[in-house]
Amino acid sequence: MLIALAGNPNTGKSTIFNALTGSHQHVGNWPGVTVEKKEGFTEYKGKRIKIVDLPGTYSLTAYSLEELIARNFILEEKPDVVIDIIDSTNLERNLYLLTELMELTDRIVVALNMFDEAKKKYRIDVEKMKKILGIPVVPTVAIRNEGIDELLKEAVEGNFPIKKPSYPEDVEKRIKTLESMLKKYKVGHERWYAIKLLENDGDVMKKLQRIGVKDIIHQAEHFRHEIEDVYGDDIETVMASFRYSFSHGLFHEIAEPINVGGVTITDMVDHVVAHKIFGIPIFLVVMYLAFNFVFEIAMPFQDAIDLLFNGKELANGGEINGLIDLSYNWMTGFMPSWLSSFINYGLLRGLAAVLSFLPIIMLLFLILSFLEDSGYLARVAFLMDRIMRRIGLEGRGIISLMLGLGCNVPAIMSTRALRNERERKLSIALNPLIPCGARIQVFAFLTSLFFARNQATVLWSLLLISFATVAFLGYIYKKTIFKGEVEPFVMELPPYRLPTLKGISIHMWEKSEGFLKKAGTIIIGAAGVIWLLAALPWGVEYGSESSYIGQIAQFLSPVGHLFGLTPQAIISLFFGFFAKEVVIESFTVLFKSKGALMASMTQLQAFSFLLFLLFYTPCVATLATVYRETRSKRFVVFVILEGLTLALLFSFLAYQIGTLLGVGG
C-alpha cells in the first residue's frame, strides 16, 4: 500500500511523517532534481505500508518545481491514499489545497493538525466537515503523537464517498464536455485534465499534445475565452476565485471563531522577535548564542575523538599513541611502509578529521532544526524580507538564500519557485556568496585552532560579512545588470510551537548522515590523492619542497604573499574547488599535527584565509547547477569571477591593513 502526505509548508507534515515511520525512513532526492524526497515504511495489522512525504505546497499549479513534483506523483504513481495535513490554526487558507486535491484524487484523508491550538481560535465541527466533503477527517496533535493511530486506521480502512467541489453551471458544463472528449483517449483523471486545459496549464498542454488531442485543446481554448468574457477576468483568476469561494464557504460551515480580537502568545512573542527595529539584532544575538552553545558542547567530544585517533604528547615528555600510529606500526609488520603510511596517514587521518567535526555538525543541525520547527526561522525570513526587497528579491528569493546555509546546490535549484526570471538570476548570482555547511565546517575547524577563545565571535563575524556583502551587491546588481520590479509575495508566519526531541533528532541525523556519506566518498578519496602528491616522487621527504605538492606550493607562493596565504593554504584552496570539506583533509594530510598547522600561520594569515574561503569559487557541483539552471557558460564564468574577485579583495585588505596595524601576528 502507498500513502502520500501532502500539505502546505509549516503544517507539521514532517512531524507526522516521522511519527508514522520512525526510524524506517530514507532521505534522497526526487529523480533528476535536488528537491528532497522522504519516504519510509510502517505496518498496520501486518500490512506493509510505504509512505512518501511530498514537498510542501500552497497549490497544485505548475509554477514551482515542488508543485509539479507533488501533483505528478499523485497522477503517475497513483497512491492508494493521500493524507492532506492541514494547519487547523490557519484552517481557511489550508482548505484551498484540499479543493485541488479533491479534483485530482478520490481517496483523501484530512489530518487537522495542531488541533489543540486551533481550539483556542475556533469551534471546529469535525463530523460536519466529514459529511460535507465525504472523506475521513482526523484531528491530530503531531508533536504529542495524538491522533496518529486513528489517522493511519482511516487511511487503511476508511470509506471515501467523496463529494467533489463543483463550479458554476456554465463552467461545469464546459468541464464535463472536455471530460467526455478526453475519455476517448483513456488518459485517466479526465476531470482534472479538463479543468487544467481550461486553465491553460502549460505542463498539461505539453503532455496532451504528445498524445495528439489538438481538437480538445482547441475546444478548451474556445471555452476559456467564453468564460473570460462572461466573468471579465483571466481564467486563472476566475478558477482560483471559485476555489477560494468554496474554501471560504466550507470554513464558515464548519468553524465558529471564538475569542475574536484576543491576543495570543504568538502575537506577544512576535511583537518582540519580529519587531521591525529589534528583530534583526535579536536574530544576530540568537545566532551568536547558538554558535557558542555548539562549540562549548562539542569541544569535549572533539578532543576525545582527536585523542582516540591521534594520541597526545604529555607534559612530562611522555606520549599517548593514537589509533593511527598504532595501526601504522602494526601494518608495517606485514606490508610496505609506504602502503601503511598511505592507509593510516592518508585515508585514516582524513577520516579522523571528518569524525572529529561530526559533533559540531550534529549540534549545529540540531539547533537549526529546533529554530525551524519552532517557527522562528519563518520570522527571520519575514524580517529579512524588508531588507532583501530593497536589493531586488521577494520572499521566495530570501528563502533560497537561507537554504544556501545548508548547501548551495539545492538552494540554487529552489530558485525555480521564483516566477520572475530577473529575480531568479539575481538569486542564483548571490547564492554562492552564502557560506554553505561545508564552508562552515572548515571555519569551525580553523577557528577552533587559531581563535579558540573567541571562536563563535569569529564565525559570527564571517556570516555578518557574507550577509552584508550579499545585501550590498544585490543593491548594485538591482540598479545595473538585474534591473526590474520585485514581485509581490505573501509570507506565512506559523504559530510558535515546542519542537519534539524525536522530530529535531531525525532532522539532525538526516543532515549529518549526508555529511558522513560525503566524507566516505569524495572527502576521504581526496585525502588519498593529497597524500600521494605529498609522498611522490619516491624517496623525497613527505610534504617537503621536493614533493609534487611542495613544488606546486612553491610555484604559487609568490601569488599568495600579498594575501597572507601560505603555500599549503593555496593547495588546500585548489583541492577545495572539488568539495569545500576537502580543505580540512588537505591540512590534515599536509601537517602531521594540529600544532604544526598552527605554527604555519599567524592569526592574521588564518583570518585572511577564512575570508578568501568565504567567497572564492564555488565547488564543482554548485557551478554545474548554475549552468543547469541558466544554460549559460557566461553566467558560470560570471559567478566564478564574482567570487574570486571578492575573495582576493577581502583577503588583501584584511592582511595588508592588519600588517600595517601590527595585529594578529
pLDDT of 231-290, one tens digit each? Answer: 888 888 889 888 988 898 899 899 988 865 556 677 778 778 877 788 888 887 887 787
- Grid cell at residue 290: 547558538
Tell me: pLDDT of 328 over 60: yes
Residue 485: the pLDDT is 65
pLDDT level of residue 98 (50, 70, 90 thresholds): very high
Residue whose C-alpha is closest to residue 7's, from 101, 81, 121, 124: 101
Higher pLDDT, 112 or 624: 112
pLDDT at position 79 is: 94
The average pLDDT across 379-389 equals 72
169-257 carries CATH number 1.10.287.1770: yes
Mind listing the pLDDT tens digit for each residue in 5-22? 999 988 889 889 999 998
Range with the largest mean pLDDT of 111-125, 294-308, 491-505: 111-125
- At 5 the pLDDT is 95
Q: Does residue 424 surpass a pLDDT of 80?
A: yes
Higher pLDDT, 207 or 545: 207
pLDDT interval class at 58 (50, 70, 90): confident
Does the pLDDT at position 80 exceed 90?
yes
**First vs last C-alpha separation in the chain:** 65
Q: What is the mean pLDDT of residues 84-95?
A: 92
The upper half-sphere exposure of residue 190, i.e. CA atoms within 13 Å in the direction of its Cβ, equals 16
CA gap 245, 229 in Å, rounded: 20
Most confident of 289-298, 398-407, 437-446, 507-516: 437-446
CATH architecture of 2-157: 3-Layer(aba) Sandwich (3.40)
pLDDT for residue 27 is more than 80: no
Percent of the chain whose pLDDT exceeds 90? 26
| Distances, alpha carbon 375 to alpha carbons 189, 237, 502, in Å | 37, 31, 17
Q: Are strands 47-53 and 2-7 parallel, antiparallel or unpaired?
A: parallel
> Is pLDDT of 293 > 60?
yes
pLDDT given for residue 362 in this prediction: 81
pLDDT at 148: 94
Q: Given its phi and psi angles, is residue 392 left (phi above 0), alpha (psi -120 to 50 degrees) or beta? A: left
Mean pLDDT of 121-128: 91
- What per-residue confidence (pLDDT) applies to 208? 84
Query: CATH 1.10.287.1770 residue ranges in the chain?
Result: 169-257
**Over the chain, what is the mean pLDDT?**
83
Question: Are 27 and 20 contacting, i.e. CB atoms less than 8 angstroms apart?
Answer: no
Q: Please determine, for residue 317, whether its predicted confidence score (pLDDT) is greater than 70.
A: no
pLDDT digits (tens, 9 = 90+) for 447-458: 988 998 888 889
CA-to-CA dists, residue 373 to 13, 35, 365, angstroms: 11, 19, 12
Between residues 355 and 661, the one the model is more confident about: 661
With 90 as the cut, is the pLDDT of residue 111 above it? Answer: yes
SS3 86: strand
For residues 656 and 663, the answer to whether their CB atoms sit within 8 Å is no
Cell of 1: 500500500
Q: Are 114 and 12 in contact (CB under 8 A)?
A: yes
Per-residue H/E/C for 580-644: CCHHHHHHHHHCCCHHHHHHHCCHHHHHHHHHHHHHCCCCHHHHHHHHHHHCCHHHHHHHHHHHH
pLDDT grade for 467, boundaries at 50, 70 and 90: confident
**pLDDT number for residue 441:** 77
Q: Quick: pLDDT tens for 34-50.
A: 567 889 999 998 899 99
User: In the chain, pLDDT over 70 holds for what percent of residues?
Assistant: 88
Cis geometry, peptide bond prior to residue 537 (ω within 30 degrees of 0): yes
CA 617, chain centre distance (Å) = 21
Q: Which DSSP string corresponds to 290-314?
A: HHHHHHHHHHHHHHHHHHHHH-EE-
| pLDDT-derived band at 313, boundaries 50, 70, 90 | low
Radius of gyration of the chain (CA): 28
The 10s digit of each residue's pLDDT in 518-560 is: 655 666 676 677 778 878 888 787 767 788 877 887 787 777 8
Element containing residue 565 per DSSP (H, E): none
Query: In terms of pTM, does the model score above 0.75?
Result: no
Strands (E), 34-145: 36-44, 47-53, 81-87, 108-113, 122-124, 137-139
Up-side HSE of residue 563: CA atoms within 13 Å toward CB? Answer: 25
Judged against a pLDDT cut of 70, whether residue 32 lies above it is answered with no
Asked if the model's pLDDT at residue 487 lies above 80, the reply is: no
Residue pair 112/138 in contact (Cβ under 8 Å)? The answer is: yes
Mean pLDDT of 138-159: 92
Tell me what pLDDT residue 174 has: 92
